[in-house]
């Protein structure tokens, strides 16, 4: 009898402790009592907003099924659910092991099933082979499916460049190459219970840029068509265009719907930099439009590249966007060359 009583007491104590622990954990994660709209967005997005240590993969739950994975300055995206994991880009090759470890740690019972490459640069495609090897029991797969195969989606121009088919390009290893391409404005996918649109707007950063719109989660992954850490990188050898770049940004603004006072709502994950929403894209679009207009006007006045550089048309933005990897000089030169040879925009914006 005493044994039964002791057991009952112990059981009650254990249950009580469990209840207390659960309540504490719940409080930490949901912070009841503070209306969600009152929570600052970073806290709303990240229940425990803990900075990742240098060299670690930072995992940011965005909303719905979508997570942003920060690799230093580069971002990739994971959409996770019952069907498995869809990755938007695979990051630089040197991050592959850490990405694989992070995915296995955070989503232990999920396999990568789909990859979308937003463009052909190594920071977007460098991890293709390693991730296929780690998760793709059946290797890479095409549109026909097949046991365990991972499908890699991209625009056709991206495959042409990665496969060395396009002029001046070097062939990448076979296991890195996209297996499912398209040449139209859109490719539709349904995965993890939500419609996903892979969108092509023409040349911008390269001639094969796509954005990925998770319609259920209400998140757009832009690849390098939108970044917060530098000026638009115009890859001249690969068909870039400042006006194409601006067109893509305007299209993102058409898609996004802010939740409240021009923030929240549709979230935008840039190829590099911080998690964004419509107003962040709007700032970037506005300023790059202003720079485009200034350079355009200077070209109309017959100013040389050196004169344009000397006038410092980007001075107001250099403190944020000029970097060692893509300097103001490089950007201004690329815009000048592009606008000198390309078609003018329909209308410049200055008064």
Partner 1 sequence: MRKANAAGPRALQLRGTSAAWRITAALLLQAAWIVPVAAQQAGAPTPVAAPAAPAAGGQQANCDVSGEWSSRSREDTEDRVLLGTNLGDYTGFPLNDAARQFARHWDASILSLPTQQAIPHPAQYIMRGPGPNVRIAKFVDPTTRGFVGYTIDGVYGRNDRTIWMDGRPHPPDYAEFTWDGFSTGRCERGMLVVTTTHMKYGYHRRNGVPASVKSKMTEYFIRHGTEMTIMQFTEDPVYLEEVLARTLDFQINPGQNVGAPGFGFEIVDEIASWPDGFVPHWPFGTEHKEFAETLGVPYESTQGHKEAMYPEYLAKLRQMMRDAGSTPATR
Binding site for partner 1 (CB under 8 A): 23-24, 26-27, 31-34, 38-43, 45-46, 49-52, 58, 60, 68, 70, 75, 228, 246-247, 250, 253, 258, 260-263, 267, 273-280, 282-283, 285-286, 289-290, 293-294, 297-298, 311-313, 315-320, 345-347, 349-351
3-state secondary structure at position 319:
helix
* Nearest residue to 104 via CA among 139, 60, 57: 57
Rounded to the nearest whole angstrom, what is the least distance from the CB of residue 333 to partner 1 in the complex? 18
- CB of 201: closest distance to partner 1 in angstroms? 13
Which of 57, 177 has the CB closer to partner 1? 57
Closer to partner 1 by Cβ: residue 197 or 283: 283
Bridge partners (DSSP) of residue 140 are: 150
Q: Residue 93 and residue 114: Cα distance in Å, rounded?
A: 18
Nearer to partner 1, 57 or 131 (CB): 57
Closer residue to partner 1, CB minimum distance, 209 or 280: 280
Q: How far is the CB of 94 from partner 1 (least distance, A)?
A: 19
Nearest distance from C-beta of residue 255 to partner 1, angstroms:
12
Instruction: Give CA–CA dist 105/80, Å, rounded.
Output: 13
List b or e across 68-101, with b for residues whose CB sees 16 or more CB atoms inside 10 angstroms.
bbbbbbbbbbbbbbebbbbbbbbbbbebbebbbe
**β partners of residue 141:** 151
- Quote the least distance from Cβ 25 to partner 1, whole Å: 10
- Please identify, using beta-carbon distances, which residue of 187 and 294 lies nearer to partner 1: 294
* Cβ at position 235, least distance to partner 1 in Å: 22
If the CB atoms of residues 93 and 290 are measured against partner 1, the closer one turns out to be 290
Q: Crossing angle, helix 278-300 and helix 328-341, to 10 degrees?
A: 60
How many C-beta atoms lie closer than 10 Å to residue 286's C-beta? Answer: 12
First to last CA, the chain: 92
Distances (CA, A) of 83 to 31, 94, 272: 30, 27, 27
Q: Do the Cβ atoms of 256 and 220 come closer than 8 Å?
A: yes
Query: Which residues does residue 78 pair with via DSSP β-bridges, in sequence order?
Result: 67, 87
Looking at residue 87, the DSSP 8-state letter turns out to be E
156 vs 318 by CB, closer to partner 1: 318
**Closest separation between CB of residue 108 and partner 1, Å?**
24
């Amino acid at each position: 009898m005493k044994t039964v009583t002791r057991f009952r007491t112990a059981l009650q104590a254990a249950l009580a402790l469990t209840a207390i622990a659960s309540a504490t954990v719940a409080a930490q994660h949901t912070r009841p009592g503070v209306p969600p709209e009152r929570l600052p967005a970073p806290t709303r997005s990240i229940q425990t907003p803990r900075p990742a240590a240098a060299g670690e993969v930072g995992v940011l739950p965005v909303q719905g099924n979508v997570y942003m994975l920060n690799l230093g300055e580069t971002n990739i995206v994971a959409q996770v659910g019952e069907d498995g994991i869809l990755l938007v880009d695979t990051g630089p090759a040197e991050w592959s092991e850490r990405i694989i470890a992070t995915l296995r740690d955070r989503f232990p019972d999920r396999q990568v099933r789909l990859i979308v490459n937003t463009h052909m640069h190594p920071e977007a495609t460098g991890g293709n082979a390693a991730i296929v090897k780690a998760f793709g029991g059946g290797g890479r797969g095409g549109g026909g499916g097949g046991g365990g195969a991972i499908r890699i989606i991209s625009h056709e121009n991206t495959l042409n460049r990665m496969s060395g088919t396009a002029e001046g390009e070097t062939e990448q290893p076979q296991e890195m190459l996209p297996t499912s391409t398209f040449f139209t404005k859109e490719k539709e996918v349904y995965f993890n219970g939500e419609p996903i649109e892979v969108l092509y707007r023409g040349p911008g950063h390269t001639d094969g840029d796509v954005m990925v719109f998770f319609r259920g989660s209400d998140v757009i992954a832009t690849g390098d068509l939108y970044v917060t850490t530098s000026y638009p990188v115009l890859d001249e050898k690969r068909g870039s265009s400042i006006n194409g770049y601006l067109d893509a940004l305007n299209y993102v603004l058409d898609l996004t719907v802010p939740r409240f006072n021009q923030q929240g709502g549709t979230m935008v994950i840039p190829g590099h930099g911080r998690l964004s929403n419509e107003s962040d894209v709007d700032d970037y679009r506005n300023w790059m439009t202003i720079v485009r207009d200034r350079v355009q006007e200077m070209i109309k006045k017959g100013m040389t590249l050196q004169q344009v550089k000397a006038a410092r048309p980007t001075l107001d933005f250099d403190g944020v966007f000029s970097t060692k990897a893509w300097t103001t000089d490089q950007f201004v030169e690329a815009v000048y060359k592009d606008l000198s040879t390309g078609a003018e925009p329909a209308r410049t914006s200055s008064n």
